[in-house]
A = this chain, B = another copy of it.
Protein backbone atom coordinates (compact mmCIF):
# COMPACT_ATOMS: atom_id res chain seq x y z
CA UNK A 1 0.00 0.00 0.00
CA UNK A 2 2.76 2.38 0.99
CA UNK A 3 4.34 1.63 -2.33
CA UNK A 4 1.19 2.51 -4.26
CA UNK A 5 0.85 5.81 -2.44
CA UNK A 6 4.47 6.57 -3.12
CA UNK A 7 4.13 5.74 -6.82
CA UNK A 8 1.10 7.91 -7.04
CA UNK A 9 2.94 10.76 -5.42
CA UNK A 10 5.82 10.43 -7.85
CA UNK A 11 3.42 10.29 -10.76
CA UNK A 12 1.61 13.40 -9.63
CA UNK A 13 4.83 15.24 -9.02
CA UNK A 14 6.08 14.24 -12.45
CA UNK A 15 2.86 15.39 -14.07
CA UNK A 16 3.03 18.68 -12.25
CA UNK A 17 6.54 19.19 -13.54
CA UNK A 18 5.56 18.25 -17.06
CA UNK A 19 2.69 20.68 -16.97
CA UNK A 20 5.15 23.58 -16.95
CA UNK A 21 4.60 24.88 -20.44
CA UNK A 22 5.90 28.40 -19.95
CA UNK A 23 2.50 30.04 -20.30
CA UNK A 24 2.95 31.91 -17.04
CA UNK A 25 5.85 33.89 -18.43
CA UNK A 26 7.63 35.88 -15.73
CA UNK A 27 4.45 36.13 -13.65
CA UNK A 28 4.86 33.19 -11.34
CA UNK A 29 3.92 34.71 -8.01
CA UNK A 30 2.18 32.26 -5.76
CA UNK A 31 -1.15 33.47 -4.30
CA UNK A 32 -0.53 34.26 -0.66
CA UNK A 33 -3.59 36.43 0.00
CA UNK A 34 -1.80 38.28 2.73
CA UNK A 35 -1.61 42.02 2.21
CA UNK A 36 -4.67 44.28 2.36
CA UNK A 37 -4.70 47.24 -0.01
CA UNK A 38 -6.00 50.57 1.21
CA UNK A 39 -6.99 53.19 -1.32
CA UNK A 40 -9.41 56.06 -1.63
CA UNK A 41 -9.25 56.05 -5.39
CA UNK A 42 -11.14 53.63 -7.53
CA UNK A 43 -11.09 52.62 -11.16
CA UNK A 44 -10.84 49.39 -13.13
CA UNK A 45 -7.08 49.91 -13.33
CA UNK A 46 -6.75 50.48 -9.62
CA UNK A 47 -8.87 47.42 -8.98
CA UNK A 48 -6.38 45.35 -10.90
CA UNK A 49 -3.48 46.82 -8.97
CA UNK A 50 -5.33 46.07 -5.75
CA UNK A 51 -6.10 42.54 -6.76
CA UNK A 52 -2.53 41.77 -7.85
CA UNK A 53 -1.19 42.97 -4.52
CA UNK A 54 -3.83 41.36 -2.36
CA UNK A 55 -3.33 38.06 -4.10
CA UNK A 56 0.41 37.93 -4.55
CA UNK A 57 2.20 40.45 -2.36
CA UNK A 58 3.95 38.68 0.47
CA UNK A 59 4.40 41.77 2.62
CA UNK A 60 2.49 44.15 4.82
CA UNK A 61 -0.58 46.14 3.81
CA UNK A 62 -0.18 48.56 0.93
CA UNK A 63 -1.64 52.01 0.36
CA UNK A 64 -2.38 53.19 -3.18
CA UNK A 65 -2.50 56.94 -3.57
CA UNK A 66 -3.20 59.20 -6.53
CA UNK A 67 -1.01 62.27 -6.24
CA UNK A 68 -1.76 65.21 -8.55
CA UNK A 69 1.54 66.90 -7.63
CA UNK A 70 3.59 64.20 -9.32
CA UNK A 71 4.86 64.55 -12.90
CA UNK A 72 2.18 63.90 -15.48
CA UNK A 73 3.34 60.53 -16.73
CA UNK A 74 2.95 56.84 -15.97
CA UNK A 75 5.55 56.91 -13.21
CA UNK A 76 5.18 55.93 -9.60
CA UNK A 77 6.82 56.25 -6.22
CA UNK A 78 7.14 53.41 -3.74
CA UNK A 79 7.95 54.59 -0.25
CA UNK A 80 7.53 52.22 2.64
CA UNK A 81 4.31 50.45 1.85
CA UNK A 82 2.76 53.30 -0.09
CA UNK A 83 2.58 53.50 -3.85
CA UNK A 84 1.86 56.97 -5.21
CA UNK A 85 1.23 57.93 -8.82
CA UNK A 86 -0.25 60.71 -10.88
CA UNK A 87 -2.25 58.28 -12.97
CA UNK A 88 -4.14 55.07 -12.35
CA UNK A 89 -1.71 53.25 -14.63
CA UNK A 90 1.16 54.47 -12.49
CA UNK A 91 -0.38 52.70 -9.51
CA UNK A 92 -0.63 49.51 -11.53
CA UNK A 93 3.00 49.77 -12.67
CA UNK A 94 3.98 50.47 -9.11
CA UNK A 95 2.12 47.38 -7.94
CA UNK A 96 4.04 45.18 -10.37
CA UNK A 97 7.29 46.86 -9.36
CA UNK A 98 6.57 46.16 -5.71
CA UNK A 99 5.88 42.52 -6.55
CA UNK A 100 9.33 42.41 -8.17
CA UNK A 101 10.81 43.96 -5.03
CA UNK A 102 11.67 47.29 -6.66
CA UNK A 103 11.34 50.50 -4.66
CA UNK A 104 11.74 54.24 -5.02
CA UNK A 105 10.75 56.67 -7.76
CA UNK A 106 10.46 55.50 -11.31
CA UNK A 107 9.29 57.34 -14.40
CA UNK A 108 9.18 56.05 -17.95
CA UNK A 109 11.64 57.49 -20.43
CA UNK A 110 9.25 57.02 -23.34
CA UNK A 111 5.59 57.94 -23.13
CA UNK A 112 4.78 55.71 -26.07
CA UNK A 113 5.76 52.11 -25.35
CA UNK A 114 4.10 50.06 -28.01
CA UNK A 115 3.97 46.54 -29.31
CA UNK A 116 3.46 46.23 -33.03
CA UNK A 117 1.73 43.02 -34.01
CA UNK A 118 2.31 41.97 -37.57
CA UNK A 119 -0.79 39.82 -37.28
CA UNK A 120 -2.95 39.23 -40.30
CA UNK A 121 -6.71 39.02 -40.07
CA UNK A 122 -6.62 35.36 -41.13
CA UNK A 123 -4.67 34.52 -37.99
CA UNK A 124 -1.29 34.18 -39.65
CA UNK A 125 1.53 36.39 -38.48
CA UNK A 126 4.15 37.91 -40.74
CA UNK A 127 7.52 36.99 -39.26
CA UNK A 128 5.73 35.22 -36.45
CA UNK A 129 7.32 32.05 -35.12
CA UNK A 130 5.08 31.21 -32.20
CA UNK A 131 1.89 30.02 -33.77
CA UNK A 132 -1.13 31.97 -34.92
CA UNK A 133 -2.34 35.35 -33.77
CA UNK A 134 -3.77 35.70 -30.28
CA UNK A 135 -6.34 38.08 -31.79
CA UNK A 136 -8.90 35.65 -33.16
CA UNK A 137 -11.37 37.82 -34.96
CA UNK A 138 -15.00 37.09 -34.19
CA UNK A 139 -14.05 34.41 -31.69
CA UNK A 140 -11.83 36.34 -29.30
CA UNK A 141 -10.26 34.39 -26.46
CA UNK A 142 -10.85 37.05 -23.84
CA UNK A 143 -8.90 35.32 -21.12
CA UNK A 144 -5.90 34.97 -23.38
CA UNK A 145 -6.06 38.66 -24.26
CA UNK A 146 -6.42 39.51 -20.59
CA UNK A 147 -3.32 37.41 -19.80
CA UNK A 148 -1.53 39.25 -22.59
CA UNK A 149 -2.62 42.60 -21.18
CA UNK A 150 -1.48 41.67 -17.70
CA UNK A 151 1.93 40.60 -18.97
CA UNK A 152 2.33 43.87 -20.85
CA UNK A 153 1.21 45.93 -17.90
CA UNK A 154 3.69 44.17 -15.66
CA UNK A 155 6.52 45.59 -17.78
CA UNK A 156 4.97 48.96 -18.61
CA UNK A 157 3.88 48.49 -22.21
CA UNK A 158 1.03 50.93 -22.86
CA UNK A 159 0.00 50.42 -26.45
CA UNK A 160 -0.69 47.66 -28.95
CA UNK A 161 -0.95 47.96 -32.69
CA UNK A 162 -3.15 44.96 -33.31
CA UNK A 163 -2.54 44.20 -36.96
CA UNK A 164 0.16 43.84 -39.59
CA UNK A 165 1.68 46.93 -41.16
CA UNK A 166 0.94 45.24 -44.47
CA UNK A 167 -2.62 45.98 -43.51
CA UNK A 168 -5.87 44.69 -44.84
CA UNK A 169 -8.41 47.43 -45.56
CA UNK A 170 -10.98 45.19 -43.87
CA UNK A 171 -9.72 46.09 -40.44
CA UNK A 172 -11.51 49.43 -40.78
CA UNK A 173 -14.87 47.88 -41.54
CA UNK A 174 -17.47 48.11 -38.85
CA UNK A 175 -17.56 44.42 -37.95
CA UNK A 176 -13.83 44.42 -37.33
CA UNK A 177 -13.93 47.72 -35.49
CA UNK A 178 -16.49 46.24 -33.12
CA UNK A 179 -14.05 43.45 -32.42
CA UNK A 180 -11.28 45.99 -31.92
CA UNK A 181 -13.51 47.69 -29.39
CA UNK A 182 -13.83 44.43 -27.47
CA UNK A 183 -10.07 44.09 -27.37
CA UNK A 184 -9.69 47.73 -26.35
CA UNK A 185 -12.12 47.17 -23.50
CA UNK A 186 -10.03 44.28 -22.23
CA UNK A 187 -6.74 46.14 -22.56
CA UNK A 188 -7.91 49.49 -21.19
CA UNK A 189 -7.87 48.68 -17.49
CA UNK A 190 -4.30 47.45 -17.96
CA UNK A 191 -3.29 50.89 -19.20
CA UNK A 192 -2.98 49.76 -22.80
CA UNK A 193 -4.38 51.69 -25.74
CA UNK A 194 -5.13 50.02 -29.03
CA UNK A 195 -3.80 51.28 -32.34
CA UNK A 196 -4.36 49.97 -35.84
CA UNK A 197 -2.18 49.60 -38.88
CA UNK A 198 -4.06 50.96 -41.84
CA UNK A 199 -3.87 50.41 -45.55
CA UNK A 200 -3.44 53.82 -47.11
CA UNK A 201 -5.80 52.92 -49.93
CA UNK A 202 -8.52 51.66 -47.61
CA UNK A 203 -11.40 53.87 -48.76
CA UNK A 204 -10.75 53.00 -52.37
CA UNK A 205 -10.13 49.34 -51.66
CA UNK A 206 -13.38 49.15 -49.76
CA UNK A 207 -15.11 50.70 -52.75
CA UNK A 208 -16.13 53.81 -50.93
CA UNK A 209 -14.02 56.30 -52.84
CA UNK A 210 -12.61 56.33 -56.34
CA UNK A 211 -9.13 57.28 -55.27
CA UNK A 212 -6.94 57.28 -52.23
CA UNK A 213 -5.26 60.55 -53.12
CA UNK A 214 -4.72 62.30 -49.80
CA UNK A 215 -5.51 65.67 -51.30
CA UNK A 216 -8.83 64.45 -52.61
CA UNK A 217 -11.58 65.82 -50.41
CA UNK A 218 -13.77 62.73 -50.50
CA UNK A 219 -10.82 60.72 -49.33
CA UNK A 220 -10.06 63.05 -46.46
CA UNK A 221 -13.68 63.07 -45.55
CA UNK A 222 -13.85 59.31 -45.56
CA UNK A 223 -10.99 59.19 -43.08
CA UNK A 224 -12.61 61.86 -40.88
CA UNK A 225 -15.81 59.84 -40.81
CA UNK A 226 -13.90 56.66 -40.10
CA UNK A 227 -12.05 58.32 -37.25
CA UNK A 228 -15.30 59.46 -35.77
CA UNK A 229 -16.69 55.93 -36.00
CA UNK A 230 -13.62 54.50 -34.33
CA UNK A 231 -13.59 56.99 -31.51
CA UNK A 232 -17.21 56.45 -30.84
CA UNK A 233 -16.46 52.83 -30.22
CA UNK A 234 -13.08 53.40 -28.59
CA UNK A 235 -12.79 56.86 -27.07
CA UNK A 236 -9.13 56.38 -26.14
CA UNK A 237 -8.10 54.84 -29.46
CA UNK A 238 -4.38 55.50 -29.97
CA UNK A 239 -4.05 56.11 -33.67
CA UNK A 240 -2.76 54.71 -36.90
CA UNK A 241 0.48 53.03 -37.91
CA UNK A 242 1.16 53.38 -41.62
CA UNK A 243 3.42 51.58 -44.06
CA UNK A 244 3.02 53.50 -47.28
CA UNK A 245 4.74 53.25 -50.64
CA UNK A 246 6.95 50.49 -49.36
CA UNK A 247 7.27 46.93 -50.62
CA UNK A 248 4.11 47.16 -52.67
CA UNK A 249 1.92 48.94 -50.16
CA UNK A 250 -0.14 51.84 -51.50
CA UNK A 251 0.64 55.37 -50.41
CA UNK A 252 0.48 59.02 -51.30
CA UNK A 253 3.27 58.52 -53.82
CA UNK A 254 0.76 56.69 -56.01
CA UNK A 255 -0.77 60.13 -56.57
CA UNK A 256 2.48 62.03 -56.71
CA UNK A 257 1.88 63.25 -53.21
CA UNK A 258 4.51 63.23 -50.52
CA UNK A 259 4.61 61.19 -47.36
CA UNK A 260 3.84 64.45 -45.57
CA UNK A 261 0.69 64.92 -47.63
CA UNK A 262 -0.43 61.43 -46.73
CA UNK A 263 0.45 61.55 -43.09
CA UNK A 264 -1.03 64.98 -42.55
CA UNK A 265 -4.36 64.01 -44.08
CA UNK A 266 -4.65 61.15 -41.60
CA UNK A 267 -3.33 63.29 -38.77
CA UNK A 268 -6.02 65.85 -39.43
CA UNK A 269 -8.67 63.15 -39.23
CA UNK A 270 -7.39 61.94 -35.88
CA UNK A 271 -6.47 65.28 -34.39
CA UNK A 272 -9.92 66.11 -32.92
CA UNK A 273 -9.71 62.89 -30.90
CA UNK A 274 -6.06 63.28 -29.86
CA UNK A 275 -5.05 60.38 -32.07
CA UNK A 276 -1.62 60.11 -33.59
CA UNK A 277 -0.17 58.87 -36.85
CA UNK A 278 2.97 56.77 -36.73
CA UNK A 279 4.34 56.96 -40.24
CA UNK A 280 7.00 54.41 -41.06
CA UNK A 281 10.19 55.43 -42.77
CA UNK A 282 10.94 51.90 -43.93
CA UNK A 283 10.78 52.92 -47.57
CA UNK A 284 12.94 51.84 -50.48
CA UNK A 285 12.57 51.14 -54.17
CA UNK A 286 10.19 54.06 -54.63
CA UNK A 287 11.25 57.63 -55.42
CA UNK A 288 14.91 56.82 -54.84
CA UNK A 289 14.96 53.47 -56.52
CA UNK A 290 18.48 52.47 -57.52
CA UNK A 291 20.10 54.40 -54.73
CA UNK A 292 21.87 52.41 -52.04
CA UNK A 293 18.94 50.98 -50.13
CA UNK A 294 20.25 52.08 -46.75
CA UNK A 295 20.23 55.71 -47.91
CA UNK A 296 16.74 55.89 -49.31
CA UNK A 297 14.86 56.67 -46.12
CA UNK A 298 16.89 59.80 -45.44
CA UNK A 299 16.66 60.80 -49.10
CA UNK A 300 12.92 60.43 -48.92
CA UNK A 301 12.14 61.99 -45.57
CA UNK A 302 14.80 64.60 -44.89
CA UNK A 303 13.31 67.07 -47.41
CA UNK A 304 9.94 66.65 -45.70
CA UNK A 305 11.21 67.40 -42.19
CA UNK A 306 9.17 70.29 -40.82
CA UNK A 307 6.20 69.63 -43.05
CA UNK A 308 4.40 67.17 -40.80
CA UNK A 309 1.52 67.89 -38.44
CA UNK A 310 2.38 67.83 -34.75
CA UNK A 311 0.51 64.58 -34.20
CA UNK A 312 2.63 62.72 -36.73
CA UNK A 313 5.58 60.67 -35.56
CA UNK A 314 8.08 59.09 -37.91
CA UNK A 315 8.74 55.50 -36.97
CA UNK A 316 12.04 54.07 -38.12
CA UNK A 317 13.76 50.72 -37.66
CA UNK A 318 16.87 50.89 -35.52
CA UNK A 319 19.11 50.20 -38.50
CA UNK A 320 18.87 51.55 -42.03
CA UNK A 321 18.44 48.15 -43.69
CA UNK A 322 16.19 45.62 -42.04
CA UNK A 323 16.66 44.23 -38.55
CA UNK A 324 19.95 42.49 -39.29
CA UNK A 325 21.87 40.87 -36.39
CA UNK A 326 24.11 43.92 -36.44
CA UNK A 327 23.52 47.17 -38.22
CA UNK A 328 24.74 50.67 -37.60
CA UNK A 329 21.94 52.88 -36.34
CA UNK A 330 19.71 54.51 -38.89
CA UNK A 331 20.99 57.97 -39.87
CA UNK A 332 17.44 59.22 -39.96
CA UNK A 333 17.81 59.81 -36.24
CA UNK A 334 20.54 62.33 -37.08
CA UNK A 335 18.67 63.95 -39.96
CA UNK A 336 15.06 64.35 -38.87
CA UNK A 337 15.08 67.16 -36.37
CA UNK A 338 11.73 68.94 -36.59
CA UNK A 339 9.51 65.89 -36.60
CA UNK A 340 9.16 63.58 -33.63
CA UNK A 341 10.86 60.21 -34.06
CA UNK A 342 10.08 56.76 -32.76
CA UNK A 343 12.33 53.77 -33.05
CA UNK A 344 10.96 50.45 -34.21
CA UNK A 345 12.78 47.45 -32.78
CA UNK A 346 12.07 43.89 -33.78
CA UNK A 347 11.36 41.60 -30.88
CA UNK A 348 10.48 38.70 -33.14
CA UNK A 349 13.79 37.25 -34.25
CA UNK A 350 13.22 37.31 -38.01
CA UNK A 351 16.92 37.49 -38.75
CA UNK A 352 18.24 36.18 -35.46
CA UNK A 353 17.28 32.54 -35.52
CA UNK A 354 13.53 33.08 -35.17
CA UNK A 355 12.11 30.92 -32.41
CA UNK A 356 14.80 28.23 -32.86
CA UNK A 357 17.78 30.17 -31.52
CA UNK A 358 18.47 31.45 -28.06
CA UNK A 359 19.40 35.03 -28.82
CA UNK A 360 18.87 37.68 -26.18
CA UNK A 361 18.29 40.98 -27.95
CA UNK A 362 18.77 43.50 -25.17
CA UNK A 363 22.51 43.92 -25.87
CA UNK A 364 21.63 44.80 -29.48
CA UNK A 365 19.10 47.39 -28.42
CA UNK A 366 21.49 48.86 -25.90
CA UNK A 367 24.00 49.24 -28.73
CA UNK A 368 21.43 51.36 -30.57
CA UNK A 369 21.02 53.62 -27.57
CA UNK A 370 24.79 54.08 -27.43
CA UNK A 371 24.39 56.09 -30.62
CA UNK A 372 20.86 57.46 -30.46
CA UNK A 373 19.95 59.18 -27.25
CA UNK A 374 16.53 58.18 -25.88
CA UNK A 375 15.90 61.89 -25.33
CA UNK A 376 15.70 62.31 -29.12
CA UNK A 377 12.81 59.88 -29.29
CA UNK A 378 9.15 60.33 -28.57
CA UNK A 379 8.42 56.64 -28.37
CA UNK A 380 9.51 53.11 -28.92
CA UNK A 381 7.82 50.27 -30.74
CA UNK A 382 8.68 46.59 -30.74
CA UNK A 383 7.52 44.14 -33.37
CA UNK A 384 6.01 41.47 -31.16
CA UNK A 385 7.10 37.85 -30.97
CA UNK A 386 3.82 36.71 -29.48
CA UNK A 387 1.59 33.97 -30.80
CA UNK A 388 -0.79 31.30 -29.67
CA UNK A 389 1.96 28.83 -28.74
CA UNK A 390 1.37 27.89 -25.12
CA UNK A 391 4.62 29.59 -24.17
CA UNK A 392 3.66 32.69 -26.19
CA UNK A 393 6.98 33.13 -27.98
CA UNK A 394 7.96 29.72 -29.36
CA UNK A 395 11.29 29.65 -27.54
CA UNK A 396 11.14 29.97 -23.78
CA UNK A 397 14.08 32.33 -23.92
CA UNK A 398 12.35 34.51 -26.51
CA UNK A 399 10.08 35.58 -23.69
CA UNK A 400 13.13 37.41 -22.36
CA UNK A 401 13.05 39.64 -25.44
CA UNK A 402 9.45 40.65 -24.83
CA UNK A 403 10.33 41.32 -21.21
CA UNK A 404 13.50 43.22 -22.08
CA UNK A 405 11.69 45.34 -24.63
CA UNK A 406 9.19 46.45 -22.02
CA UNK A 407 11.82 47.16 -19.42
CA UNK A 408 14.00 49.15 -21.83
CA UNK A 409 10.96 51.05 -23.10
CA UNK A 410 10.45 52.13 -19.53
CA UNK A 411 14.11 52.73 -18.77
CA UNK A 412 16.71 52.39 -21.52
CA UNK A 413 19.46 52.96 -18.96
CA UNK A 414 18.95 49.53 -17.46
CA UNK A 415 21.80 47.22 -18.38
CA UNK A 416 21.00 44.17 -20.44
CA UNK A 417 22.48 42.06 -17.67
CA UNK A 418 20.23 43.54 -15.03
CA UNK A 419 17.19 42.83 -17.16
CA UNK A 420 18.34 39.28 -17.86
CA UNK A 421 18.85 38.72 -14.16
CA UNK A 422 15.37 40.01 -13.31
CA UNK A 423 13.80 37.89 -16.00
CA UNK A 424 15.67 34.71 -15.11
CA UNK A 425 14.76 35.05 -11.48
CA UNK A 426 11.11 35.72 -12.21
CA UNK A 427 10.82 33.08 -14.92
CA UNK A 428 12.90 30.18 -13.61
CA UNK A 429 14.55 30.42 -10.22
CA UNK A 430 16.58 32.84 -8.20
CA UNK A 431 19.23 30.22 -7.52
CA UNK A 432 22.39 32.18 -8.22
CA UNK A 433 24.12 29.17 -9.75
CA UNK A 434 21.52 29.14 -12.50
CA UNK A 435 21.07 32.86 -12.82
CA UNK A 436 24.77 33.71 -13.03
CA UNK A 437 25.49 31.12 -15.68
CA UNK A 438 22.49 31.93 -17.79
CA UNK A 439 23.06 35.68 -17.54
CA UNK A 440 26.48 35.17 -19.04
CA UNK A 441 25.15 32.97 -21.81
CA UNK A 442 22.27 35.32 -22.60
CA UNK A 443 24.63 38.26 -22.70
CA UNK A 444 26.94 36.54 -25.19
CA UNK A 445 24.17 35.01 -27.27
CA UNK A 446 23.60 37.93 -29.61
CA UNK A 447 27.31 38.32 -30.30
CA UNK A 448 27.45 34.59 -30.99
CA UNK A 449 24.61 34.98 -33.48
CA UNK A 450 26.36 37.82 -35.28
CA UNK A 451 29.52 35.75 -35.51
CA UNK A 452 28.04 32.53 -36.83
CA UNK A 453 25.69 34.33 -39.23
CA UNK A 454 27.26 37.53 -40.52
CA UNK A 455 30.33 38.81 -38.73
CA UNK A 456 32.38 41.91 -39.47
CA UNK A 457 29.51 43.89 -40.93
CA UNK A 458 28.19 41.34 -43.40
CA UNK A 459 24.45 41.60 -43.85
CA UNK A 460 21.41 40.17 -45.53
CA UNK A 461 22.94 36.94 -46.77
CA UNK A 462 19.91 35.05 -45.55
CA UNK A 463 17.96 32.55 -47.54
CA UNK A 464 15.29 34.22 -49.59
CA UNK A 465 11.88 34.77 -48.10
CA UNK A 466 12.10 32.77 -44.87
CA UNK A 467 15.34 34.35 -43.64
CA UNK A 468 16.44 31.42 -41.51
CA UNK A 469 19.52 29.85 -43.09
CA UNK A 470 22.45 31.18 -45.12
CA UNK A 471 22.36 31.85 -48.86
CA UNK A 472 25.49 33.79 -49.69
CA UNK A 473 25.19 32.96 -53.39
CA UNK A 474 21.59 34.16 -53.43
CA UNK A 475 20.61 35.87 -56.65
CA UNK A 476 17.27 35.76 -58.44
CA UNK A 477 17.12 37.89 -61.54
CA UNK A 478 13.41 38.51 -61.25
CA UNK A 479 13.75 39.88 -57.71
CA UNK A 480 14.71 43.43 -56.85
CA UNK A 481 18.49 43.47 -56.65
CA UNK A 482 18.33 44.74 -53.09
CA UNK A 483 16.70 41.51 -51.98
CA UNK A 484 19.68 39.49 -53.19
CA UNK A 485 22.49 38.46 -50.84
CA UNK A 486 25.19 38.87 -53.52
CA UNK A 487 24.28 42.56 -53.77
CA UNK A 488 25.18 43.04 -50.13
CA UNK A 489 28.50 41.25 -49.82
CA UNK A 490 29.80 41.70 -53.38
CA UNK A 491 32.51 39.09 -52.84
CA UNK A 492 34.97 38.53 -55.66
CA UNK A 493 38.51 37.25 -55.92
CA UNK A 494 39.96 40.48 -54.60
CA UNK A 495 37.62 41.84 -52.04
CA UNK A 496 34.39 41.67 -50.12
CA UNK A 497 32.06 44.26 -48.68
CA UNK A 498 29.88 47.17 -49.67
CA UNK A 499 31.66 50.48 -50.15
CA UNK A 500 29.41 53.00 -48.47
CA UNK A 501 32.25 55.44 -47.81
CA UNK A 502 32.84 58.60 -49.85
CA UNK A 503 34.47 56.45 -52.52
CA UNK A 504 31.30 54.40 -52.77
CA UNK A 505 27.67 55.22 -52.14
CA UNK A 506 28.62 57.78 -49.54
CA UNK A 507 26.00 56.48 -47.14
CA UNK A 508 28.40 57.48 -44.39
CA UNK A 509 27.65 61.12 -45.21
CA UNK A 510 24.13 60.70 -43.84
CA UNK A 511 25.49 60.47 -40.30
CA UNK A 512 26.32 63.35 -38.02
CA UNK A 513 29.85 64.62 -38.54
CA UNK A 514 31.82 62.72 -35.90
CA UNK A 515 30.13 59.44 -36.65
CA UNK A 516 30.31 59.97 -40.39
CA UNK A 517 34.06 60.53 -40.14
CA UNK A 518 34.48 57.45 -38.01
CA UNK A 519 32.53 55.16 -40.33
CA UNK A 520 33.98 56.65 -43.48
CA UNK A 521 37.59 55.96 -42.61
CA UNK A 522 38.45 52.28 -42.84
CA UNK A 523 41.01 52.80 -40.08
CA UNK A 524 38.48 54.12 -37.58
CA UNK A 525 35.41 52.21 -38.69
CA UNK A 526 34.54 49.65 -35.99
CA UNK A 527 35.59 46.28 -37.33
CA UNK A 528 32.26 44.75 -36.46
CA UNK A 529 30.78 47.02 -39.17
CA UNK A 530 33.73 46.92 -41.54
CA UNK A 531 32.07 45.17 -44.48
CA UNK A 532 28.93 47.24 -44.03
CA UNK A 533 30.79 50.41 -44.88
CA UNK A 534 33.83 49.29 -46.80
CA UNK A 535 34.97 47.12 -49.61
CA UNK A 536 37.99 45.34 -48.24
CA UNK A 537 40.67 43.14 -49.83
CA UNK A 538 40.85 39.62 -48.48
CA UNK A 539 44.42 40.31 -47.45
CA UNK A 540 43.56 43.49 -45.53
CA UNK A 541 45.26 43.61 -42.16
CA UNK A 542 42.85 43.81 -39.27
CA UNK A 543 43.73 45.63 -36.09
CA UNK A 544 44.69 42.37 -34.41
CA UNK A 545 47.23 41.58 -37.08
CA UNK A 546 45.27 38.89 -38.92
CA UNK A 547 44.03 39.23 -42.47
CA UNK A 548 40.40 39.87 -43.25
CA UNK A 549 39.97 36.33 -44.53
CA UNK A 550 41.57 34.86 -41.42
CA UNK A 551 39.36 37.04 -39.26
CA UNK A 552 36.24 36.04 -41.09
CA UNK A 553 37.04 32.37 -40.58
CA UNK A 554 37.87 33.04 -36.95
CA UNK A 555 34.58 34.82 -36.33
CA UNK A 556 32.48 32.07 -37.86
CA UNK A 557 34.39 29.42 -35.94
CA UNK A 558 34.16 31.33 -32.69
CA UNK A 559 30.44 31.83 -33.16
CA UNK A 560 30.00 28.08 -33.33
CA UNK A 561 32.22 27.56 -30.30
CA UNK A 562 30.06 30.04 -28.38
CA UNK A 563 26.92 28.08 -29.25
CA UNK A 564 28.66 24.86 -28.22
CA UNK A 565 29.35 26.48 -24.88
CA UNK A 566 25.73 27.55 -24.54
CA UNK A 567 24.38 24.17 -25.56
CA UNK A 568 26.80 22.25 -23.35
CA UNK A 569 26.10 24.40 -20.33
CA UNK A 570 22.35 24.09 -20.67
CA UNK A 571 22.45 20.41 -21.49
CA UNK A 572 24.69 19.27 -18.67
CA UNK A 573 24.39 21.94 -16.04
CA UNK A 574 20.94 23.52 -16.03
CA UNK A 575 18.61 20.56 -15.95
CA UNK A 576 18.31 20.48 -12.20
CA UNK A 577 17.17 24.07 -11.93
CA UNK A 578 14.39 23.88 -14.49
CA UNK A 579 11.23 21.83 -14.86
CA UNK A 580 11.53 18.93 -17.26
CA UNK A 581 9.39 20.36 -20.06
CA UNK A 582 11.02 23.75 -20.34
CA UNK A 583 14.48 22.23 -19.93
CA UNK A 584 13.82 19.74 -22.73
CA UNK A 585 12.25 22.24 -25.08
CA UNK A 586 15.13 24.65 -24.70
CA UNK A 587 17.60 21.80 -24.96
CA UNK A 588 16.14 20.60 -28.25
CA UNK A 589 16.27 24.09 -29.65
CA UNK A 590 19.88 24.57 -28.60
CA UNK A 591 20.80 21.39 -30.45
CA UNK A 592 19.06 22.82 -33.52
CA UNK A 593 20.79 26.12 -33.05
CA UNK A 594 24.18 24.46 -32.93
CA UNK A 595 23.44 22.56 -36.10
CA UNK A 596 22.25 25.73 -37.81
CA UNK A 597 25.26 27.71 -36.59
CA UNK A 598 27.53 25.06 -38.10
CA UNK A 599 25.57 25.25 -41.32
CA UNK A 600 26.03 29.02 -41.42
CA UNK A 601 29.75 28.68 -40.83
CA UNK A 602 30.27 25.94 -43.36
CA UNK A 603 28.11 27.36 -46.12
CA UNK A 604 29.51 30.87 -45.79
CA UNK A 605 33.15 29.87 -45.48
CA UNK A 606 32.87 27.45 -48.38
CA UNK A 607 31.30 30.13 -50.48
CA UNK A 608 33.62 32.99 -49.55
CA UNK A 609 36.60 30.65 -49.57
CA UNK A 610 36.16 30.17 -53.32
CA UNK A 611 37.13 33.80 -53.72
CA UNK A 612 39.39 34.41 -50.77
CA UNK A 613 41.77 31.58 -51.53
CA UNK A 614 41.98 32.28 -55.25
CA UNK A 615 44.77 34.80 -54.98
Contact = CB atoms under 8 A, between A and B. Distances in A.
A366 interface: no
Nearest to A545: B576
Interface stretch (A243-251, A291-299, A439-447, A561-569): A561-569
Contact of A546 (B547, B550, B572): B572
Interface string A426-447: 0000010110010000000000
Nearest to A567: B557
Contacts of A433: 543-545
Contacts of A554: 568-569, 571-573
Given A431-B545, A544-B433, A545-B431, A561 B568 contact: yes
A575 interface: yes
A573 B544 contact: yes
Contact of A568 (B434, B541, B557, B575): B557
Contact of A558 (B544, B557, B568, B575): B568
Taken together, the copies of this chain in the complex come to: 2
A280 to B, nearest CB: 41
A551 interface: yes
B545 A577 contact: yes
Given A554-B568, A568-B554, A573 B546 contact: yes
A433 B546 CA distance: 10
Contacts of A546: 572-576
A557 B547 CA distance: 30
A440 to B, nearest CB: 13
Contact of A564 (B541, B561, B575): B561
A160 interface: no
Contacts of A224: none
Contact of A550 (B541, B545, B557, B572): B572
A553 interface: yes
A437 B551 CA distance: 14
A545, A557, A561 interface centre (most CB from chain B within 10 Å): A545
User: On chain A, which size bracket covers the interface?
Assistant: 20 to 34
Interface of A is mostly: helix
B572 A551 contact: yes
A238 B571 CA distance: 56
Interface in A511-553: 541, 543-547, 550-551, 553
B553 A572 contact: yes
A198 to B, nearest CB: 51
Interface string A57-76: 00000000000000000000
A416 to B, nearest CB: 24
Contacts of A569: 554
Nearest to A547: B576
Contacts of A564: 557, 561, 564
A613 to B, nearest CB: 14
A569 B546 CA distance: 10
A557 B561 CA distance: 11
Nearest to A544: B433
Interface string A557-594: 11001001100110111111100000000000000000
A519 to B, nearest CB: 23
Contacts of A541: 576
A125 B576 CA distance: 49
Q: Which residue among A433, A572, A577 has the maximum number of chain B CB atoms within 10 Å of its CB?
A: A572
A566 to B, nearest CB: 10
A439 B376 CA distance: 44
A443 B568 CA distance: 22
* Interface-centre pick from A541, A547, A568, A577 (highest chain B CB count, 10 A): A568
A286 B430 CA distance: 55
A572 to B, nearest CB: 4
Nearest to A557: B568
A600 to B, nearest CB: 16
A569 B434 CA distance: 29
A469 to B, nearest CB: 23
A527 to B, nearest CB: 13
14 contacts: A431-B545, A541-B576, A545-B573, A545-B577, A546-B574, A547-B576, A550-B575, A551-B572, A551-B573, A554-B569, A554-B571, A554-B572, A557-B564, A561-B565
Question: What are the 5 closest A-B residue pairs judged by CB atoms, nearest first?
Answer: A554-B572, A545-B576, A557-B568, A550-B572, A546-B573
